Structures are given as structure tokens and as C-alpha cells.
Structure 1
Amino acid sequence: MKDVQSELDNRGIYLHGVGVSDLEYPIIFNGNHTIGNFTLLVDLDENVRGTHMSRFVEVLNRFYNDLSEERLLEMSRELRKVLEAKKSYIKVSFPYFSLRKAPITKMESYTKCDITYEIINEEVRLYLAIPIITLCPCSKAISNYGAHNQRALVEIGLKLNRDIAIEEIANYVEKSSSGMVFSLLKREDEKYVTEHMYDNPHFVEDVVRDLSVFLENDKRIDGYKVKVVSYESIHSHNAFSEREGKSW
């Protein structure tokens, strides 16, 4: 059959990215069964009319059921090989579920964070969105009893030079916040979580600074961006803080 995509093009226009976007596909990432939203691109020489869209999905079919950071890098190389390209780009976003034990009863339940990987040739960028709790230090200091607290969201972007477990980053986040969000807590767990928050008050500025210390000292991370939004319980606005570090 006629291969129209491989026809010569005389306009002399190089394209930085061609391929497929918003492709939802079942995946297994580090043993976690979930659904990924993919953008798969390569560059296109100025003398070639079009790319072969089916080949992107063919490559994905070789990797979807055994994905990891290293496998995404392999997939990036395979896209360049199969499509005879110099550059490749993979973006995949998915919910990631981890088992978390309640602090006292040790009952297990799943908690979710949202993950995005970007692979640009051999460069890896990882983005995470992790829910936390903040308790206001000012509210605690000026009140005779109690202090306002609320859920907050930590968004992290990481430029990586080596593989790093998502659970390790979540551990950094936990140590930098007033508390974490659980799906399942019994009364004794709630008592612990409430008292732990009260003993660990954090402004959004504190969360960003504490987390930055961990990220600065992790040699697997070449650059990072941290953003924290606290969905304030007694204010009509949110509290916001962010920082970029290393060579982001």
C-alpha cells in the first residue's frame, strides 16, 4: 500500500514534535495497576511529510505492563529507533496508590498521589502532587486553646539523574508537614494525628523550606521546584509558597 507519510516534503520546515496526545492506556507502574494518560512525540525532519502514528502505540504496547523510570527511558530510546528520530518526548500522568498504615492501630488503607513523568531523550523529570495537613503556628501562639488546621497540597517537580522511589519523596513530604492525610483512621489514630499536628505547626513557608533541605541534600536530584497551597479553613483565600532549587 502507498506510504503517504514517507513522501518527500519540499517546504523545508522542521517539526519539533509530532505524535499522539491524550492517549489513555492501562499500565502497571512499579507493580501499581493504574491508568496512564500519554503524550508520545518525536521530531520530524524537514524533508519528510508525516510520522507513522500507529508506531507510537506499537511501542507503548511493548512497555505498558512493566513500567518504571528506567523502562520509560528504554521506551524513549525505542521511539527514536523505530521512528528514525533524533529527539523523543514522553509524558505520562497517572494516579499512584500506596498502602499507608494508621499510626496507632496499624490498619492499612490506600492513599493516592498524582504522578507525571516527562522523558526528554535521556532527561527525566518527575512531578508529584501529595496532600498534607498544615496547622497554623500563629493561630496556636495567639489562642488560649486550639489552632486552625486544614488540608494542603504539595506539588513537586524533580529533575533526576538516578531512579528515586515515589515513597521516598512522600517520606520527605511527611517530615516537612504538620501531618499526612489517611483514608482510614480509628479513634485512637485520630487522637494521635490531631495531637501530632498540634505539636508540629507549619506555615506553608515552613513546608517549602523544610522540604527544600531534603531535596538539596539528595544527590539523585539535579533540580527541583516546590509549591505548597494551603486551603485555609478560616480565611477566604488560600496560603501559597514556592521555591526553585539547584539547576531547575
Structure 2
Amino acid sequence: MIFETQEERPEIMENLHRVGITNLRTVARINWKGKVYTFIPTFEITIDVPAEKKGIHMSRLVESITETMGEAVEEEVLEPHTSLEELGKCIIKRLEGKHPHRRAEVWIKTQLVMERTTPASGRRSLETYDVEVGVVKNYDGSFEKVLRVKAIGNTACPHAMANNEGKTHIQRAVGELEVRAPFDEEIALEDMIDVVEGSFSHPTYTLLKTVDENAVVQGMYRNPKFVEDVAREILARAKERFKGRIHVRVVSHESIHKHDVIAETWS
């Protein structure tokens, strides 16, 4: 006999808004506009738990991933899921038949690899970007998505340049962009990365030959920016291209200070 202790009434009767599993890693294949991407993402899946229920059946959350992922990787090879957010929604839909809930979230963290061309030698450089996709089923049954990307660039300080006869300090900067939108709003993670990367003094590259290093440095000096400038430009570009609530955070890892500098804004 199996006792369903999760269905018992708890001693403390309080609603819980997010209960589930986190840091579950598996594999996924996504066909985005004819190009197939293979990911090894990390999942977090949560649902709400009413006050009168002691807990949830954790194995059913895992099943909602493994069964959906099995279809995506094996049965749907010819037609994989079209996006990470579509995969997240499919997991929630499968969970609906396994575990009662009113609200659910699926968060998928992974890395997206994009091909870039170095600025002078024209060599191919593969760049890796941290991305996160969240799918939220609201209490009214509607779905929304949250897309987050992170890109590394650099900045040249305009203040030092103006006071040192054109000489200045440079630093690595990390830009983060989040867009929260209705589920059906089409937003490409690649486009979000382009917005962030194009807002620095200059992008950075994994592969750089000497002529490329020179081009990057010269490009930075032609385009000096404060971290505040970068944050404002990311926001302005994002508002032009994406519909939804936008959040921007930029961290400048200062080269001449013992602290970092941040700029943050949202629409």
C-alpha cells in the first residue's frame, strides 16, 4: 500500500505560490527558422500549492519534462519545438494532466552559440551567450513569457578621455536585457543579443588576431561611453524592436577602481 502523504492536510494552512524542482539538466533540440540548435539546459518548474495540501508530487514534474523532451528529441526530430518558450509551454500543458494547479512556471537556462566575424581579419569566431527563458501560466489560464540575455562588451571612459588628451581607461562591461511579453509575441533571443552587444563602445570576441585587436581598441576610442550610456542605448533600442516590459542592467568591471559600476533601468 502506498500512502499519498502529499495529499494530507498540513499543520500550518498557508498557500504556497511556487513549489517544485530546480537545477534539473537535460537535452533539447530547437528548430528556429530552419536552423536546429541543440541545448543542454537547466530547468526549474514550479506550481502553486493550496493551503489545504501538504505538498506536491515531485516525480510528476520531472515526468512532464522527460516525456516532453523525449518527444522533442526523438519523436519530433523532423519537427522539433520552434523555440525554448514553446518547449516550456508544452511542459506546462503536459503537467496539467499530471498535477492539479492554478499557476505554473517553467524556467530554462542555457547558452546560445552565435557566429561572429572578427572586425579586421574577417575570421569566424563562435561566441557563447547566457540566455534564460521563462514561461508563466497565470491564474486566469493565460500565458506570458520572459526572455533574458547576457552579453559581454567593453567601454572606454569619455571623462578620462576628455581630461587626458585622448587617453582613457577601458573596461569589460556585462549587459543584461529582459523582455516580459505575451506568449504569442515573436521575439528572437538572437535579436536581443544584438541589441545588447551593439550598445557597448565595442563588442568583444573570443578569437582576435593582432589586426582585430587593433580594430577593437580603435573602435572603442572612437565610441567612448559611460555605463549609463550603454544602459540607455540598450533600453532605447529594445523599445524600438520589442513589445513588452523591458528591464536593463549593465555592470562595468572598472579597470582603475576597486569597485564595479552598475546602471539599471526599465520601461
Name the TM-score class by shorter chain.
0.7 to 0.9
Q: 1:73: Cα distance to partner? A: 2.0
> C-alpha separation between the residues in 2 aligned to 1:99 and 1:21?
30
Amino acid at match of 2:175: V
Deviations 1:163-200 (A, max 9, x none): 31121112112331111110111222222211111111
Listed as ranges, the matches of 1:1-248 within 5 Å are: 1-5=1-5, 7-9=7-9, 12-29=13-30, 31-64=36-69, 65=73, 66=81, 68-121=84-137, 122-161=143-182, 162-218=185-241, 220-245=242-267
TM-score by length of 2: 0.82
Q: Which moved more, 1:59-68 or 1:185-194?
A: 59-68
Change (3 A) 1:230 1:3: same
C-alpha displacement of 1:155: 1.6
Residue 248 of structure 2 aligns to which amino acid in structure 1?
V
> What is the deviation of 1:6?
6.0
The RMSD of aligned alpha carbons is 2.2
Gaps of 5+ in 1: none
Task: Judge which range, 10-19 or 73-82, deviates more.
Answer: 10-19
Mapped to 1, the partners of 2:166 and 2:8 lie a distance apart of: 76
Give the deviation of 1:5 after TM superposition: 4.4
Deviation by residue 1:113-148 (Cα, 9 ceiling, x = unmatched):
212222221121122221111111112222224321
TM-score (norm. length: structure 1): 0.88
Gaps of 5+ in 2: 74-80, 138-142
Aligned residues: 244
Does the 8 Å contact 1:79/1:88 carry over to 2? no
Whether the 8 Å contact between 1:5 and 1:52 is mirrored in structure 2 is no
What is the rounded CA distance, in whole Å, between the counterparts of 1:213 and 1:193 in structure 2?
24
Is the Cα contact below 8 Å between 2:15 and 2:51 reproduced in 1? yes
**How far apart, in 1, do the equivalents of 2:23 and 2:163 lie?**
49
Between the two proteins, what is the percent identity of the paired residues?
A: 28
1:207 CA drift (Å): 0.6
Change (3 A) 1:99 1:4: same
Secondary structure in structure 2 of the residue aligned to 1:84: coil
Confirm or deny: 8 A CA contact 1:92 1:116 kept in the other structure: yes
Q: SS of 2:41's equivalent? A: strand
